[in-house]
Chains A and B, each alone.
Chain A
Amino acid sequence: MKCLTYLLLCLLLAGAVIGQEMANSSPEKATTEPTDDVTVAKTKIPAGSKLYVAPMEGGFENFVIAGIQKKKVPVVVVVDRNKADFELTGIAESEKAGWAKMLFMGSQQSKEQASIKVANIKTGAVVFGYSVHKGNSYKGKQSAGEACAKHLKQAIE
């Protein structure tokens, strides 16, 4: 009886380990979660720096600025590039949920991906880079904008 219990326990443990391994190596999971930030240069952005957010496709710059305000990123956003210390540029793409996604997955959330980089205007050095991909974005572009802002905050001294 004891042997049988041990055997069952071992089988359960092995199953759990294999399951975890499979979940970790699953490529789907890797694509649905935001990717890690990539810091290009080691220099950080000083708090209180003046940041210019360049226009992006689909007005994504507005979502990034809103994200910066919401996440209380300690930078001053300016609309004049000449007055700025750093420039934020990027690209964003939205894909609305199609009928198949709605029918089979029961999801009407969009797929969002965005990528931003911050460069020092004087030196031209890229000090921060980040990309985000959300397979099911709860709040569309707003989620992507806030993710960018959240990670930008981490790169500020």
Chain B
Amino acid sequence: MTSFKTVAVCIAILALCLTSVAADTPAKSIPENAKVYISPMPDGFDTFLKAAIEKKKVPLEIVEDREKAEYLITGTSETQKSGVAKKLVFLDWRSREEASITVFETKSGEVVFSYSVHKSSSNHGKQSTAEACAKHLKKSVK
């Protein structure tokens, strides 16, 4: 019975420590309807990202003029088409996708959101990675 109590106390102390550590880390969020400019990205990933932001209903206003934007999205994307070996050995026709985006405030220059995604077999190619980015971006908009 005493050992159970000791274990319970230890778990409680550990949980308290973990919550205090989590509270220490600064978490910035993007305000709703903020004006966002999406910088051109390799392979036209910015277009996929715009479409994904619309599809996932991210509450942000995309602007075409960089000067008018409060936030800027930059990023990179890479696609590797399924090769003969992948098709023959794994019977997999899907592409390998990886992308990473960074959102920063134009005034302060501070990064407020960043996310990277890797899909070894992407069902919808770049669309999947762009939608993953948009989905996670939506979580940081408040």
Contact = CB atoms under 8 A, between A and B. Distances in A.
B48 to A, nearest CB: 15
A32 to B, nearest CB: 18
Contacts, number: 94
Contacts of A129: none
Contacts of A103: 85, 89
B72 to A, nearest CB: 8
A46 interface: no
Contacts of A79: 104, 109-111
A142 interface: yes
A140 B95 CA distance: 14
B109 A142 contact: no
A83 B109 contact: yes
Interface string B79-104: 01001111001100000101011101
A72 interface: yes
B67 interface: no
Contacts of B24: 74
Instruction: Categorize the interface residue count of chain B.
Output: 20 to 34
Nearest to B85: A99
B26 A76 contact: yes
B90 A77 contact: no
Contacts of B89: 102-103, 106
B127 interface: no
Consensus secondary structure, chain A interface: helix
A124 to B, nearest CB: 22
A139 interface: yes
Nearest to A99: B85
Contacts of A65: 100, 102, 111, 114
Contact of B90 (A67, A78, A102, A139): A102
A62 B110 contact: no
B73 to A, nearest CB: 10
Given A140-B98, A141-B100, A72 B25 contact: yes
Interface string B120-131: 100000000000
Query: Can you list the 7 inter-chain pairs with the closest CB atoms, starting with the nearest?
Result: A59-B76, A99-B85, A62-B100, A66-B116, A77-B111, A139-B118, A80-B109
Interface of A: 48, 58-59, 62-63, 65-69, 72, 74, 76-80, 83, 96, 98-99, 102-103, 106, 108-109, 139-143, 145
